[in-house]
Structure 1
Amino acid sequence: MKKLHSMEEVDTLVNSGTHVFLFSANWCPDCRFIEPFMPEVEAKFSDLEFVYVDRDEFIDLCGEWDIYGIPSFVAFHNGNEVGRFVSKDRKTREEIEAFLTGISGTVD
């Protein structure tokens, strides 16, 4: 999974192709819960590019995009938001895959 390094990168990624931003943090137990299976989820949805966003490094972006709980996912396709799975709740693999299936269907 690509890691976001700068705010300048955000505009480039949002406006080119399909990117799923995963907002997370090292101290978040629910984020650690999804970590073991995310590589398999990424492989299953290889048409999507995943970007890890450290919530603590990009707190302003979290505010701008209304990310008030982690882990959370926001997807963009060529500049348009095509989906968001944002809450403070723990997410299961099944819930994440259902969200991503919906995203994949909108960007073909």
Structure 2
Amino acid sequence: MTTTASSFTQATDASFTADVLESDVPVLVDFWAAWCPPCRAMHPILEELAAERDDLRVVGLDCDSNPRVAAEYQVLSMPTFMVFKHGQPVLKLIGSRPKRKLVAELAEVLGS
């Protein structure tokens, strides 16, 4: 059984630059793993965000399948969420959280 978040893009080590770093809108990256229950709990929240927001792209990255990017950004705990603007990380959040809190944290760096 695979637990992938189907309604938002799943990046890979190979596609990360195109999917995230070259995006013309800010990107919220969900660094997750299939064995991580808090990661699975966050997927419906991230799917809602992806559907609700035109000003933010949501991208998942399975750290077990794509260890290069996870290592590059020093992701040691899952889930870890990072926001990238203009190809640069501007926010790093570790651990699951309620949608309300995540939206507030995003607003601080995105101004919306």
Q: TM-score range by the shorter chain?
A: 0.7 to 0.9
The TM-score, its normalising length taken from structure 1, stands at 0.80
Task: Measure the CA separation in 2 of the matches of 1:64 and 1:79.
Answer: 14
**1:44-91: CA deviation from partner (whole Å, max 9, x where unpaired):** 332111111001011222121011111111111122222111x2x332
Q: CA RMSD in A?
A: 1.9
- The answer to whether residue 22 in structure 2 is matched with residue 15 in structure 1 is yes
The letter of the residue matching 1:42 is A
Counterpart in the other structure of 2:33 = 25
Q: 1:27 to 1:101 in 2, by over 3 A?
A: same
Pair 1:15–1:80, CA change in 2 (3 A): same
Is 1:95 aligned to residue 101 of structure 2? Answer: yes
- 37-46 vs 21-30, greater mean Cα deviation: 37-46
2:42 aligned residue (19, 24, 34): 34
Q: TM-score, normalised by structure 2?
A: 0.78
Corresponding pairs, count: 103
The percentage of counterpart residues that share the same residue type is 24
> Any stretches of 5+ residues in structure 2 without a counterpart?
1-7
- Between 31-40 and 49-58, the greater mean CA deviation after superposition: 31-40
> Structure 1: 5+ residue runs without aligned partners?
none
1:45 and 1:100 in contact (8 A); partners too: no
Work out the CA distance in 1 between the residues paired with 2:9 and 2:40: 17
